[in-house]
Structure 1
Amino acid sequence: MGKAESAPRRRSVPVVKVVMLALLTVVMSVPVYLLLVNSFKPQQAIADNPFGIPLGELTLRYLSDAVHSPQYNVIGGYGFTIFLVVVVDVLCIALAGPAAYVIARSLRRRTQLLLLYFLAGTFIPGAAVVIPVIYVLRAVGLANTVTGLVAHDVASTLPVSIFLFVGFIRTIPVDIDHAAAIDGAGRYRTFWRIVFPLMRPAVVTVLILNSIGIWNDFVSPQILLSPGSGHYTVTTAIYAGISQYSTDLTKVFPNLLLAVAPVIVFFIYMQRHIVSGLTVGAVKG
């Protein structure tokens, strides 16, 4: 056999796939490029050539003004949003974990119907239930409060979290539960002390997805927390500041960059955990 024949054949990549991936990359990169470049340019340079990079006119002054401006208070929005992310994530894990464990370990029909009930929540757009949620929060005395917003966010993150947890727990052998029961551990202790540590990939995936969703959420905090509450997330703080100066692009772009930069960096750094958490249930026996 010749050298050419003995060498392994390379799989040819379809041209259509390469073109589609390249097109998708361009479509997703252009908005990020425009946001990044125009955050350091004066108003006239943005209006004349938004895609250009005038090296002599680039400055950090507009970004510095956005950080220190009392009108936007993006830094204050960081603090409240991080608080919201942490509280919602902790409550979501505390509620979704035990619920998913019961569903995954039960073979009863009514328990499986309960899983379908939770899954139904994933098909309902969040914006469609905001108005009914307002009436519910008013009825229980939590309207226009941080507690009401936290309760709404926790409820909205439970369906996907329970679905991912159930799929992962079903890959964990039931023999582990039986061994724990023989040692005298109850179901609650078995879950938190034995099963839950094994769920690390799924837990990390849920935390990442929930954190990004809460950080980017605009509709819920904007409607459930009125300006009179004095609480602003990153998105609502920027909206409150730039809505009255929407034509001043030197205020719009830097503030948008401050809002999306942390979540983009966070996603790029943690994306491998998302992929591993979503696929681990498909490869474990």
Structure 2
Amino acid sequence: MVVLETKPDDRPTTGPAHSADGKRGAGRKKPRSPVRWALLGVLFVVMIVPIYLLVVNAFKSQQDILDNPFSIPLGKLTFAHMSAAISSPQFNVIGGYGFTLFLVVVVDVLCILLAGPAAYVIARSLKRRTQLVLLYFLAGTFIPGAAVIIPVIYVLREVGLANTVTGLIAHDVASTLPVSIFLFVGFIRTIPVDIDHAATIDGAGRYRTFWTIVFPLMRPAVVTVLILNSIGIWNDFVSPQILLSPSSGHYTVTTAIYAGISQYSTDLTKVFPNLLLAVAPVVIFFIYMQRHIISGLTVGAVKG
């Protein structure tokens, strides 16, 4: 009978002590740089201070705002100024909600109807001229909107759409197409072409293939485009202010605020409440939908 002895040097080195050391080594995280924390702190302050001033001063009197805009006089805060801003017949930002929501819905629908098929053709084509079309659309993202507003006025005047809601909608749709097509193209390229081939074998045309098969798969990108376009249209001031004169009788949220501020330039008890009413919906909307924006922007970045 042979007895096999194990030498001390032959004992495995994966015992509890070594595994614990390995876990401790793996669990160590690289310390965060103080510069990074400092930059994040500065960015937080820069972003939170205007919001703080807007919220606090919307419930204060004129004298309290002028004396110390950063203070919070708990005993003097009142909702009277907010109620007056909501029910004011001269300047009611709530009245601009309806027209602005109308613009958001119409522009979003038209943008999806135009950008979707265009992006599908560009993403599925390998022709050089098609890629040039994509570059043409991308060029629109580098042109500031304020730089083309004057030529747009002349174009709308020539086609008879100056100072009309239709002209404003046409301008907003054209301004949202470049980014929308760019995002759609990047996402569609992650969808396998075999899906298109299978639909073709089943007798579906390209138009039906896109709307019934490819478009439902584009939900993250579509949601992202809708969110970005909606926030952009809601916050847009230059386009409605210039393309729609006061004689048109239509005011968006931003143009209504401008009209009210110019009328009540020294009455801060009317300025701050109306600004808060205009900003609150889009801030809440962005906070609630931000995860969809991030997922929609990143899902097409890496091809699966």
User: TM-score by structure 1 length?
Assistant: 0.98
Q: Deviations over 1:137-158 (max 9, x none)?
A: 0100000000000000000000
Residue 127 (1) aligns with residue 163 (2): no
Task: Name the CA shift for 1:247/1:102 in 2 (closer, same or farther; >3 Å).
Answer: same
C-alpha displacement of 1:10: 2.2
Identical positions, percent = 82
1:159 corresponds to which of 175, 178, 181: 178
C-alpha displacement of 1:259: 0.5
Residue 266 (1) aligns with residue 285 (2): yes
Task: For 1:284 and 1:219, locate their aligned partners in 2 and report how far apart those are by CA, in whole Å.
Answer: 38
Q: Is the 8 A contact 1:212 1:263 kept in 2?
A: yes
Equivalent residue, structure 2, for 1:217 = 236
1:42 corresponds to which of 44, 61, 64: 61
Equivalent residue, structure 2, for 1:62 = 81
Equivalent residue, structure 2, for 1:109 = 128
C-alpha displacement of 1:240: 1.1
Equivalent residue, structure 1, for 2:10 = none
Match runs of 1:1-20 below 5 Å: 1=17, 6-7=23-24, 8-20=27-39
Q: Is the 8 A contact 2:138 2:178 kept in 1?
A: yes
Task: For 1:163 and 1:4, locate their aligned partners in 2 and report how far apart those are by CA, in whole Å.
Answer: 49
- When structure 1 is superposed on structure 2, of 13-22 and 154-163 the one drifting more is 13-22
Return the letter of the residue paired with 1:241.
G
Unaligned runs of 5+ residues in structure 1 are none
Residue 195 (1) aligns with residue 214 (2): yes
Q: Is the 8 A contact 1:72 1:242 kept in 2?
A: no
Q: Deviations over 1:207-246 (max 9, x none)?
A: 0000000000000000000000000000111111221211
Q: Deviations over 1:105-124 (max 9, x none)?
A: 00000000000000000000
Q: Deviations over 1:78-114 (max 9, x none)?
A: 0000000000000000000000000000000000000
- When structure 1 is superposed on structure 2, of 77-86 and 246-255 the one drifting more is 246-255
Task: For 1:268 and 1:117, locate their aligned partners in 2 and report how far apart those are by CA, in whole Å.
Answer: 33
RMSD of aligned C-alpha atoms? 1.1
Equivalent residue, structure 1, for 2:11 = none
Return the letter of the residue paired with 2:140.
G
SS in 2 for 1:282: coil
Larger Rg: 2
Match runs of 1:168-179 below 5 Å: 168-179=187-198
1:97 corresponds to which of 116, 122, 125: 116
Task: For 1:223 and 1:282, locate their aligned partners in 2 and report how far apart those are by CA, in whole Å.
Answer: 37
1:254 corresponds to which of 257, 269, 273: 273
Task: For 1:254 and 1:221, locate their aligned partners in 2 and report how far apart those are by CA, in whole Å.
Answer: 22
Equivalent residue, structure 1, for 2:251 = 232
Return the letter of the residue paired with 2:46.
V
Equivalent residue, structure 1, for 2:91 = 72
SS in 2 for 1:56: coil
Equivalent residue, structure 2, for 1:84 = 103
Return the letter of the residue paired with 1:54.
P
Task: Name the CA shift for 1:194/1:5 in 2 (closer, same or farther; >3 Å).
Answer: closer
Task: For 2:111 and 2:89, locate their aligned partners in 1 and report how far apart those are by CA, in whole Å.
Answer: 33
Q: Is the 8 A contact 2:224 2:293 kept in 1?
A: yes
Q: Is the 8 A contact 1:121 1:159 kept in 2?
A: yes
Task: Name the CA shift for 1:61/1:184 in 2 (closer, same or farther; >3 Å).
Answer: same
User: TM-score by structure 2 length?
Assistant: 0.92
Task: Name the CA shift for 1:162/1:6 in 2 (closer, same or farther; >3 Å).
Answer: closer
